[in-house]
A and B are shown apart, each in its own frame.
Chain A
Amino acid sequence: MKLKKLNPSKKSIGEVQNDNEGNKFDKLPPDAGVSGVFPTIDENFGFIGIFFGNGIGLNKRKFTIGGGKISAGIAYIESITNTDSLNKSIIAPLIKNNINSDMDPNDIQVLVRTKYILLPVISSSNQMEQVINGLLNGDVIIFIDNSNNAIIAGNRKLEKRAIEKPENETAIFGSQESFTDDLKSNISLIIKRLPHPNLKFEAFTVGKISRTQVRLIWLEGIANPEIIEDVKSRIQKIDMDIVGGIGMLSELIEDNPLSVFPLYKQTERPDITAFNLASGFFAIICSNSPYALIAPTSLWDNFKTMDDYDEKVISANYLRLVRYVAFAVSVLISPLYISFVTYNHSIVPQTIAFTIASGRQGVPFPTVVEVLLMSFAMSIIREAGVRMPGAVGYFIGTLAAVLIGQQIVTAGYVSASMVIVIAISVISSFAISTTTMVYTSRLLNYFFIILSGFFGMFGLINGVAIVLWHLSSQYSFGMPYLYPVVPFEKEGLGDTIIRYQLKSLRKRFQILAPNNRVRVGSQVDDSDNKKLREE
Chain B
Amino acid sequence: MASVNKVAKEQIAFLTYASACGNLVYTFSWVTNVTGRPFWIAVLLGVLANIPFAVWIMYLGQLYQGDTIFDILEKVLGKFFSKILIILYIILNSIIAACLLNMFTGSVKTFFLFYTPSWIIMLFIVFICAMFVNSEIQVLGRFVEILVVVYTINYFIGFSFSFFKDFKIQKILPIFDTTFIGFAKGFLISAGSTAECLFFLMVLVGSVSEPYKNSKSVVKALAYWSAVLSSAILIMSGVMSPELLSRVAGAGISVSKVIQVGEFIRGLEILILITYQLLTIAKVSLYIYSSWVSARILFNSRKSLLQLILVSLIVFLLSAWINSFNTGYFLSVFLGSYILLPFSVIILLLAALGTLLQKSRTGSGTK
Q: Which of A147-155, A376-384, A457-465 contacts B (4 or more CB under 8 A)?
A: A457-465
Most chain B CB inside 10 Å of its own CB: which residue of A455, A457, A472, A480: A472
> Does B264 sit within 8 A of A, measured CB to CB?
yes
Asked if A487 meets B11 with Cβ closer than 8 Å, knowing A347-B266, A457-B273, the reply is yes
Do the beta carbons of A482 and B125 come within 8 Å of each other? no
> Does A348 sit within 8 A of B, measured CB to CB?
yes
When chains A and B are docked, how far (Å) is the Cα of A486 from the Cα of B278?
A: 17
Do the beta carbons of A457 and B270 come within 8 Å of each other? yes
The one of B116, B257, B263 in contact with A455, judged by C-beta atoms closer than 8 angstroms, is B116
Do the beta carbons of B269 and A461 come within 8 Å of each other? no
Asked if A346 meets B270 with Cβ closer than 8 Å, knowing A462-B281, A480-B142, the reply is yes
Given the complex, which residues of B lie within 8 Å of A350, measured CB to CB?
263
A442-467 interface bits toward B, Cβ cutoff 8 Å, 1 = contact, 0 = none? 00000000000001111101100110
> Does B113 sit within 8 A of A, measured CB to CB?
yes
A334-356 interface bits toward B, Cβ cutoff 8 Å, 1 = contact, 0 = none? 00000000011011111100000
Do the beta carbons of B11 and A458 come within 8 Å of each other? no
Do the beta carbons of B143 and A468 come within 8 Å of each other? yes
When chains A and B are docked, how far (Å) is the Cα of A269 from the Cα of B268?
A: 45
Do the beta carbons of A462 and B146 come within 8 Å of each other? no
B264-288 interface bits toward A, Cβ cutoff 8 Å, 1 = contact, 0 = none? 1011111001100110010000000
Do the beta carbons of A346 and B269 come within 8 Å of each other? yes
CB distance from B7 to the nearest CB of A (A): 10
Do the beta carbons of A465 and B147 come within 8 Å of each other? yes
User: Size class of B's contact patch?
Assistant: 35 or more
Do the beta carbons of A487 and B142 come within 8 Å of each other? yes
> Does B8 sit within 8 A of A, measured CB to CB?
yes
Given the complex, which residues of A lie within 8 Å of B143, measured CB to CB?
468-469, 472-473
Do the beta carbons of B263 and A349 come within 8 Å of each other? yes
Most chain B CB inside 10 Å of its own CB: which residue of A344, A465, A488: A465
Asked if A346 meets B266 with Cβ closer than 8 Å, knowing A468-B146, A469-B132, A487-B142, the reply is yes
Given the complex, which residues of A lie within 8 Å of B67, measured CB to CB?
none
The one of B10, B131, B146, B264 in contact with A472, judged by C-beta atoms closer than 8 angstroms, is B146
Do the beta carbons of A461 and B263 come within 8 Å of each other? no
Given the complex, which residues of A lie within 8 Å of B273, measured CB to CB?
457-458, 461
Do the beta carbons of A344 and B270 come within 8 Å of each other? yes
CB distance from B11 to the nearest CB of A (A): 7
When chains A and B are docked, how far (Å) is the Cα of A230 from the Cα of B5?
A: 20
Q: Nearest chain-A residue to B139 (Cβ)? A: A473
The one of A344, A469, A487 in contact with B267, judged by C-beta atoms closer than 8 angstroms, is A344
Interchain Cβ contacts within 8 Å, total number: 83
Asked if A465 meets B267 with Cβ closer than 8 Å, knowing A458-B121, A473-B135, A486-B145, the reply is no
Most chain B CB inside 10 Å of its own CB: which residue of A348, A350, A461, A469: A469
Do the beta carbons of B278 and A461 come within 8 Å of each other? yes
Given the complex, which residues of B lie within 8 Å of A351, measured CB to CB?
263
Given the complex, which residues of A lie within 8 Å of B266, measured CB to CB?
346-347, 349
> Does B128 sit within 8 A of A, measured CB to CB?
yes
Q: Nearest chain-A residue to B262 (Cβ)? A: A349
Given the complex, which residues of A lie within 8 Å of B11, measured CB to CB?
487
CB interface residues, A 461-516, toward B, < 8 Å: 461-462, 465-466, 468-469, 472-473, 480, 482, 486-488
Given the complex, which residues of B lie within 8 Å of A349, measured CB to CB?
263-264, 266
User: Size class of A's contact patch?
Assistant: 20 to 34
> Does B108 sit within 8 A of A, measured CB to CB?
yes
CB distance from B242 to the nearest CB of A (A): 26
Given the complex, which residues of A lie within 8 Å of B116, measured CB to CB?
455
A25-40 interface bits toward B, Cβ cutoff 8 Å, 1 = contact, 0 = none? 0000000000000000
When chains A and B are docked, how far (Å) is the Cα of A5 from the Cα of B8?
A: 57
Do the beta carbons of A486 and B142 come within 8 Å of each other? yes
When chains A and B are docked, how far (Å) is the Cα of A48 from the Cα of B131?
A: 61
Do the beta carbons of A458 and B108 come within 8 Å of each other? yes
Do the beta carbons of A343 and B263 come within 8 Å of each other? no
Asked if A466 meets B128 with Cβ closer than 8 Å, knowing A348-B267, A458-B121, A487-B8, the reply is yes
Given the complex, which residues of A lie within 8 Å of B176, measured CB to CB?
none
When chains A and B are docked, how far (Å) is the Cα of A472 from the Cα of B146?
A: 9
CB distance from A478 to the nearest CB of B (A): 13
Given the complex, which residues of B lie within 8 Å of A459, measured CB to CB?
124
Given the complex, which residues of A lie within 8 Å of B330, measured CB to CB?
none
Asked if A482 meets B142 with Cβ closer than 8 Å, knowing A461-B273, A468-B147, A469-B132, the reply is yes
The one of B145, B257, B270, B281 in contact with A465, judged by C-beta atoms closer than 8 angstroms, is B281
Given the complex, which residues of B lie within 8 Å of A461, measured CB to CB?
273-274, 277-278
Q: Nearest chain-A residue to B263 (Cβ)? A: A349
When chains A and B are docked, how far (Å) is the Cα of A346 from the Cα of B277?
A: 18
> Does B112 sit within 8 A of A, measured CB to CB?
yes
When chains A and B are docked, how far (Å) is the Cα of A343 from the Cα of B108?
A: 12
Do the beta carbons of A455 and B269 come within 8 Å of each other? no
Given the complex, which residues of B lie within 8 Å of A462, measured CB to CB?
124-125, 128, 277, 281
Do the beta carbons of B112 and A456 come within 8 Å of each other? yes
Given the complex, which residues of A lie within 8 Å of B145, measured CB to CB?
486, 488
Q: Nearest chain-B residue to A460 (Cβ)? A: B274
Given the complex, which residues of A lie within 8 Å of B124, measured CB to CB?
455, 459, 462
CB distance from B302 to the nearest CB of A (A): 25
Do the beta carbons of A346 and B142 come within 8 Å of each other? no
Given the complex, which residues of B lie within 8 Å of A472, measured CB to CB?
139, 142-143, 146
Given the complex, which residues of B lie within 8 Å of A455, measured CB to CB?
113, 116, 124
Do the beta carbons of B277 and A482 come within 8 Å of each other? no
Given the complex, which residues of B lie within 8 Å of A488, measured CB to CB?
10, 145
Do the beta carbons of A457 and B112 come within 8 Å of each other? yes
Do the beta carbons of B281 and A487 come within 8 Å of each other? no
Q: Nearest chain-A residue to B143 (Cβ)? A: A472
CB distance from A61 to the nearest CB of B (A): 66
A50-93 interface bits toward B, Cβ cutoff 8 Å, 1 = contact, 0 = none? 00000000000000000000000000000000000000000000
Given the complex, which residues of A lie within 8 Å of B10, measured CB to CB?
487-488
Given the complex, which residues of B lie within 8 Å of A487, measured CB to CB?
8, 10-11, 142
Given the complex, which residues of A lie within 8 Å of B125, measured CB to CB?
462
Q: Nearest chain-B residue to A346 (Cβ)? A: B267
Do the beta carbons of B112 and A458 come within 8 Å of each other? yes
When chains A and B are docked, how far (Å) is the Cα of A469 from the Cα of B131?
A: 9
When chains A and B are docked, how far (Å) is the Cα of A465 from the Cα of B125?
A: 11
When chains A and B are docked, how far (Å) is the Cα of A488 from the Cα of B141?
A: 12
Given the complex, which residues of B lie within 8 Å of A486, measured CB to CB?
142, 145-146
When chains A and B are docked, how far (Å) is the Cα of A462 from the Cα of B122?
A: 12
When chains A and B are docked, how far (Å) is the Cα of A101 from the Cα of B203?
A: 88
Q: Nearest chain-A residue to B140 (Cβ)? A: A472
When chains A and B are docked, how far (Å) is the Cα of A488 from the Cα of B217?
A: 14
Q: Which residues of A contact B (CB under 8 A)?
A: 343-344, 346-351, 455-459, 461-462, 465-466, 468-469, 472-473, 480, 482, 486-488
Q: List 13 A-B contacts (CB under 8 A).
A: A343-B112, A344-B267, A346-B270, A347-B267, A349-B266, A456-B113, A458-B112, A458-B273, A461-B277, A462-B125, A465-B128, A465-B147, A486-B142
Given contacts A465-B132, A465-B147, A487-B8, 10 further A-B contacts (CB under 8 A): A344-B267, A346-B269, A346-B270, A347-B270, A455-B124, A457-B273, A458-B108, A462-B277, A466-B128, A472-B142
Shortest Cβ-Cβ A-B pairs, 3 listed: A347-B267, A346-B267, A472-B142
